[in-house]
A = this chain, B = another copy of it.
Amino acid sequence: MSARYKSYKYIEDLSKYDGQEITLNGWVYNKTGKGKLQFIQLRDGSGVAQCVVFKGNVSEEDFEAAKSLTQESSLSVTGTVKSNDRAPGGFELDVTSLKVYQIADEYPISPKEHGDAFLIENRHLWLRSSRQHAIMRVRSVIVKAIRDFLDNCGFRLMDSPILTPNACEGTSTLFETKYFDLGNAYLSQSGQLYAEASAMALGRTYTFGPTFRAEKSKTRKHLTEFWMVEPEAAFFDLEDDMQLAEDMTVYIVKQVLANCEKELETLERDIEPLKKVVGGFPRMSYTEAVEWLQENKVPLIQKVDGVDKEIHPFPWGEDFGTVQEEALMEQFDQPCFIYDYPTEVKAFYMKRDPENPKVVKAMDMLGPEKAGELIGGSQREDDHDLLLERIQHEDLPLEEFQWYLDLRKYGSVPHSGFGMGLERTVKWITGAKHIRETIPMPRTIHRIVP
């Protein structure tokens, strides 16, 4: 059987075919020309190539067809690959014939500036623009880097379920659906609890899938549907957890720098800050971070009667927001870990420090360049009775957590894990303006289409 599809030629490989006659398939990205010459900028998803149609080299019908091409018209173009220093990519196609599939209707997205609302409304077409293209390609490289890193580290993929009977971090922010005769199911906010069960079975595991939050947040950093990778490992303590997060982050950045040179250029991303992400990330306990905020007069901001009020000095025990995170991160070129957070601001499943129960073995990794929180993780509470107490303290439905408590009855071990938000990572590395640009079809509280 001939694998015909393997013989198709793509623009990213143009330099391999220097001097040969080949056929490219794609869409008109742009077109110029006058008199006997038409220049078609052809895009095929792998790149953009200049195709030169000279009246003397093609049939009359083909020349007329070339003249009639509109933006996003679809066609196959046959011609000879020639090097040309002035062509994008250094090669162009000297056209000998062409076959038009469709002359496109007037394309709504022209090279002129469009408003955000219009572009997102037309996301299915906006994806064709070179900037969105580049972000999507970087996204795919980041996903591959994450999976390769974890696979090569001995972590096994264990997909957590999306439909769950319980709420990992509170019930108010969950999407709910009727589940046959079994009552309601909720869309998972995190695969972690299941990842813990998997880690007790396979040692080192990860789950990587979509997660959901029905939060009415409207910041630039929030989507209602986003992807998260969550490694979980038996016998890892918080120290191991931070090191794994650091090594994974360094690997991701390295892979993007090695494989996305063209994309980062298209995005006009300054790569110097990325080159500095080489490991040895700074680490600071929450208490040290609070001391630094106090010394540097960074206040807690609290809304009082709808007005922001500054509270000096920043009180130990309060969670950090964007103001504190960005102030702290101004010191660093690399991501930074903050660890050992107050118990009261963190989730029930985090391990309390046996020597200081006011603190849990949690960590957040903040990104440089105002990237915000990229990773959140912790060592998990492995003591059955302490965990039970926390579940009861938070008024969680005990019945639903019996299986989770089982993990502390049958061979409980120290274990840790973290979650990395894919879209936030893509936003940081690509320098995308808005998190909406970092996922093919963004879902926000105001948008479920296309």
Return the contact of A448 from the options B147, B182, B187, B205 (Cβ within 8 A). B182
Stretch at the interface among A57-65, A90-98, A133-141, A358-366: A133-141
Asked if A101 contacts B201 (CB within 8 A), the reply is: no
Cβ A411 vs Cβ B159 within 8 A: no
Contacts of A5 in B (CB 8 A): 233, 236, 240, 243-244
Check A225 for interface membership: any CB of B closer than 8 A: yes
The reply to whether A187 and B177 form a contact with Cβ atoms under 8 Å apart is: yes
Q: Within residues 214 to 236 of chain A, which ones have a CB less than 8 A from any CB in chain B? A: 214, 216, 224-225, 227, 233-236
Chain B contacts for A137, CB-based, 8 A: 156, 202
A160-168, A338-346, A347-355: which one contacts chain B?
A160-168
Chain B residues with Cβ below 8 Å from A239 are 4
Bound CA–CA A222/B197 (angstroms): 24
Q: Are A105 and B409 in contact (CB under 8 A)?
A: yes
In the complex, the answer to whether A443 meets B157 with C-beta atoms within 8 Å is: no
Interface size on A, residues (CB 8 A): 111
A366 to chain B, nearest CB (A): 17
**1/0 per residue A425-437: CB within 8 Å of B?**
0000000000000
Output the least CB separation between A407 and chain B (Å).
7
Chain B residue numbers with a CB within 8 Å of A450 are 194, 197, 403-404
Q: Which of A121-129, A297-305, A306-314, A321-329 lies at the interface?
A: A121-129
- For chain A residues 174-195, which have a beta carbon within 8 Å of chain B? 175-180, 182, 185, 187, 194
Among B2, B202, B439, B440, the residue within 8 A (CB) of A45 is B202
Q: A180's closest neighbor in chain B, by CB? A: B445
Contacts of A234 in B (CB 8 A): 25, 44-45
Residue A39 at the B interface, CB < 8 A? no
Q: Which residues of B contact A407 (CB under 8 A)?
A: 124
Whole-angstrom CA separation of A125 from B163 in the bound complex: 19
A124-B403, A243-B3, A411-B102 known; A45 vs B203 contact (CB < 8 Å): yes
Contact B162 A225 (CB under 8 A): yes
Task: Give A132 Cβ to nearest chain B Cβ, in Å.
Answer: 7
Residues of B within 8 A of A143 (CB): 157
Q: In the bound complex, do residue A157 and residue B140 qualify as a contact, i.e. CB atoms below 8 Å apart? A: yes
A25 and B414 CA atoms in complex are apart in Å by 11
Docked CA distance A216–B179 (Å): 11
User: How far does the Cβ of A147 sit from chain B's closest Cβ, in whole Å?
Assistant: 7
Contact in complex: A440, B156 (CB < 8 Å) = no
CB–CB A197/B124 < 8 A: yes
Does A158 make an interface contact (CB < 8 A)? yes
Within the complex, the shortest CB–CB distance from A42 to chain B, in Å, comes to 11
Write out the residue numbers on chain B whose beta carbons fall within 8 Å of the beta carbon of A178.
Answer: 175-176
Contacts of A244 in B (CB 8 A): 5
B12, B161, B449: the one within 8 Å of A441 (CB): B161
Q: Given the complex of chains A and B, what is the CA–CA distance between A5 and B158 in angstroms?
A: 20
Query: In the complex the two chains form, is A107's CB within 8 Å of B160's CB?
Result: no
Contact A409 B243, beta carbon cutoff 8 Å? no
Q: Check B410–A72 contact: CB distance below 8 A.
A: yes
Q: Enumerate chain B residues within 8 angstroms of A235, measured Cβ to Cβ.
A: 8, 25, 76
A46 within 8 Å of B (CB atoms) = yes
Q: Is the CB of A201 within 8 A of B133?
A: yes
Identify the 5 closest CB pairs spanning chains A and B, nearest first.
A45-B203, A403-B450, A74-B411, A5-B240, A127-B201
**6 examples of A-B residue contacts, CB within 8 angstroms:** A45-B205, A136-B156, A136-B198, A140-B156, A180-B446, A194-B440
Given contacts A1-B246, A132-B201, A163-B175, 13 further A-B contacts (CB under 8 A): A1-B243, A5-B233, A5-B240, A26-B203, A102-B411, A102-B413, A127-B198, A140-B158, A159-B227, A161-B441, A176-B177, A185-B448, A210-B210
